[in-house]
Amino acid sequence: MVENKHDLKPIEKSDLVRVFVKGGIISPGDFNKIIQVAHEQGSAYVHLGSRQDILFPVVKKHVEVLDKTFQSINIGYDTDKEAYQNIVTSYTSLDVMPTTQWLASHIYHYILDTFDYQPKLKINITDPVQNLVPLFTGNVNFVASRQENYWYMFLRFSEIDQKPWCAPMLFFGFELAQIAKKIEALDPLSSSLGYESIYQKAMEGLKLNCHPWEEELQFTETITPYYEGMNRIAGGKYWLGLYWRNNRFSISFLKALCKLCMETNIGTLSLTPWKSLIVRGISEKERLSWEKLLGKFGINIRHSALELNWHIPVLNREALDIKDFLVRALDKQDISTYGLSFSIKVSHMVLFTAIVIEKCEPKSEKDPVTFNVMYAKGFNPNQSEYFYFVKNIPLAIVPNVLIELSQKYYDQLEEDKLMLEKKKKVHVVSTKRFKKFQCASCLTIYDEALGDPVSDIQEGTSFSTLGQEYSCPVCDSPKSAYREV
């Protein structure tokens, strides 16, 4: 195995080759070719990116070799400071999390096939029911509606705009590429036009099978899922989630993984935005082979949620060190962070976690390093709205602040549970079949749904529970004068 000749030198982003795994879906054969070319270029490992791409460091790039390899497998790549972008999908959540009923694997494949160009805008194609892939980290975000193969479109071209703008139409799945390509042609990242103007210009001349949406997109509760380890699914099969703490996936291990996939007829690997890899469809009889593979390479699984649910920039040693410090500090206090997710923000990045630890810009070199801690509205990143919890605190205090914030989260869960139970009770009352009774003397109606405010009788009070002393509030006739109508 060839070791990375530049391991002693800090790798810069400009040294990275970014491979666009469209939708985060790749065959073991193609993955093997990618890691082979990374090996030939002098790297001993690859990284997984937050946009479901594959990255590997190469200081002296042999463009001819890269071109030949990636053209042969029809996969795009980039070495020019993020000139192009990968398309992100929630395909990786299939069989791992709940799914919108109509959204099956072939739908993702058909839609991705319609994108016959390499986008410069970030495009997300996601299922709102799952929580593994963020909905709004793209510039053009397509989110599945309840209507089969029709999608909402949300636009966001600036980090300053916390909330994405929702287009007034639902778009047919096989036409998403058309509207996305037209929007990109307008260069919205540099345009001074507003979202509505860009949308209207993009729609000009297009004949699309779209129609106005009738209900707003409903967000599900976002509990960050456990995306690692060997997990059983329907049909007696398993999915395996692989996570590496430092996001350096050994090429020697990945080669062995691809080989085992091909030997056991696993046709697809999928990447998550959490920089992990999912192998789906492992049979019971092959499970031991996979466990032997993990053991041979010393691969640990079943990390704690405290370790897993972090988003940090690729190749950022400072952010990784901050995360390691915080994880160790929280682990010593035996704190649970289940359901929460965290980001370390030391530079510009799109936020998609419940809590963000943001490094402050020092006014001078003499100023101490401090941090802000933010949390998403309702601890739901899909709400795209963040609030400051504390500002300008030293790193040593951040663990205690995170403990306070996690308690706030669990308190809110309890409040939400009580509110839900209250709503259920109201629903039970409101759907009960109420009866009506009429006074035979003056024809006044007693409606069980409304009660009798004049006599201080509450809504929903059954007529049969009224005492015999009850009388008509209009003519004072006794209860016996009433007849059911």
Q: What is the 3-state secondary structure (H, E, C) of 181-236?
A: HHHHHCCCCCCCCCHHHHHHHHHCCCCCCCEECCCCCCCCCCCCCCCCEEEECHHH
Of 313, 419, 417, 406, nearest to 16 by C-alpha is 313
Q: Would you place residue 234 in the very low, low, confident or very high pLDDT band (cuts 50, 70, 90)? A: confident
List pLDDT tens digits, range 394-429: 999 999 999 999 888 888 866 655 555 555 454 444
Of 40, 144, 54, 132, nearest to 92 by C-alpha is 132
Q: Would you say residue 173 has pLDDT above 70?
A: yes
- Can you tell me the distance from the alpha carbon of 141 to that of 153, in angstroms, rounded to the nearest whole number? 6
- Can you tell me the distance from the alpha carbon of 264 to that of 270, in angstroms, rounded to the nearest whole number? 16
pTM exceeding 0.85: no
Q: Write the CA distances from 2 to 18, 38, 68, 293, integer angstroms.
A: 20, 10, 21, 21
- Can you tell me the distance from the alpha carbon of 474 to that of 439, in angstroms, rounded to the nearest whole number? 9
Of the two residues 464 and 21, the one the predictor is more confident about is 21
Beta-carbon count within 10 A of 441 CB: 14
Mean pLDDT, range 420-448, rounded to an integer: 67
- In this prediction, residue 415 carries a pLDDT of 63
Of 218, 213, 238, 220, nearest to 228 by C-alpha is 238
Q: Would you say residue 11 has pLDDT above 60?
A: no
- In this prediction, residue 3 carries a pLDDT of 37
List pLDDT tens digits, range 266-303: 999 999 999 999 999 999 999 999 999 999 998 888 78
Positive or negative, the CA dihedral 132, 133, 134, 135 is negative
Mean pLDDT, range 41-59, rounded to an integer: 89
What are 314's two structure tokens? 């690729």
List pLDDT tens digits, range 92-115: 999 888 889 899 999 999 999 999
Mean pLDDT, range 137-158, rounded to an integer: 95
DSSP 240-294: EEEE-TTS-EEHHHHHHHHHHHHHTT---EEEETTTEEEEEEE-GGGHHHHHHHH
